[in-house]
Chains A and B, each alone.
Chain A
Amino acid sequence: MSNEEDVSAPASTAQDAAASTDESLAPDEHGHVTVHVVHVNETEKAHFKESIHATLQAVWDKSYVELHIDRRPKDIFQTGGKHPKSLMSHLGLTLKQALEQNVIHNFHFGIVSETGGA
């Protein structure tokens, strides 16, 4: 099974965008934002500070450290919320770029193992 995703769909939805208005997305004086990540399969979550200039790949990598969970080969990094969208095609973007390009609407993310079933 490939991790390639349909990139034509918006990365997250209007509902998720609306949810993001509840919190500030502006970085602090050090250029950091608070990232929230849940591991769907392990039902664990973590919150940590990360540079707004960190790539999604770097955020994903750091998430495992903060969660104390090992990466699995078929894991997927995705947006958080009720309408998760894979970020696997956007891992090179920084948080700032991803926000500006509407790939993400907040700093809530999820990690989940791929399922199969075409």
Chain B
Amino acid sequence: MAKANEIPKVDVHAGLKALEEDLPRVLRLIEAPSIEALGWKRPTKLTLTIPFTGTHEGKTDEYLLRLGFQAYRDWPPSAQFVNPETGDYVYPQDQHFVPKLTSPECHTHATYNRSNGPPVQLVCCSATLEFYEVLHSVEPHHVWRETDTFFTTVNAIQRAFTSHYQGRYPVHGQ
């Protein structure tokens, strides 16, 4: 179970089992016949990719979010915006694949320096795994609950896109 100031524990077997349970639940909830109907993909057993769009100053941008379920559901899914060509994220050359989200509930960092490891892309939200991995401070009422699913994560990011999207991070070197 997620706790503040505790490093998440990876358990891929539990993650896969929980994802298999939660995918049909979420699809039923949003009345979607399949992940493909939503434009989602499952490139590996422990990974989902989900497209997002954001509109800023009249311009609409597309993004691809990769969710990882290696510590799920005791902990939230990993959430990383990735290069759609590679399905991966390498800083700094891929930083323009990260949206600038500035919500108090969900704030993105193309790179985030932490004291306990190498820098990471951080979707700074209490519903992402990286938030706990960097030992971010968290209010007790924001801590991931065992009843939450990855849809909590998706919804938090969707809401930030709707209200607090500020365009892309710039192309590296420009």
Contact = CB atoms under 8 A, between A and B. Distances in A.
Interface in A38-54: 38, 40-45
Interface residues of B, number: 38
Contacts of A83: 158, 161-162
B17 interface: no
Interface residues of A, number: 31
Interface stretch (A25-33, A94-102, A110-118): A110-118
Contacts of B152: 40-41, 112-113, 115
Contacts of A113: 141, 145, 152
A18 to B, nearest CB: 14
Contacts of A45: 29
Contacts of B149: 41, 43
B155 A73 contact: no
Contacts, number: 94
Given A40-B151, A40-B152, A83-B158, A1 B163 contact: no
Contacts of B151: 40, 43
B72 to A, nearest CB: 14
B162 A40 contact: no
A43 B153 CA distance: 13
B82 interface: no
A84 B105 contact: no
A5 interface: yes
Interface of B: 22, 25-26, 28-30, 55, 103-107, 123-128, 131, 136, 138-139, 141-142, 145, 147-149, 151-152, 155-156, 158-159, 161-164
21 contacts: A1-B104, A5-B163, A6-B164, A9-B162, A9-B163, A38-B30, A41-B145, A43-B26, A43-B29, A72-B141, A78-B159, A83-B162, A84-B162, A85-B159, A112-B155, A114-B105, A115-B105, A117-B107, A117-B124, A117-B126, A117-B128
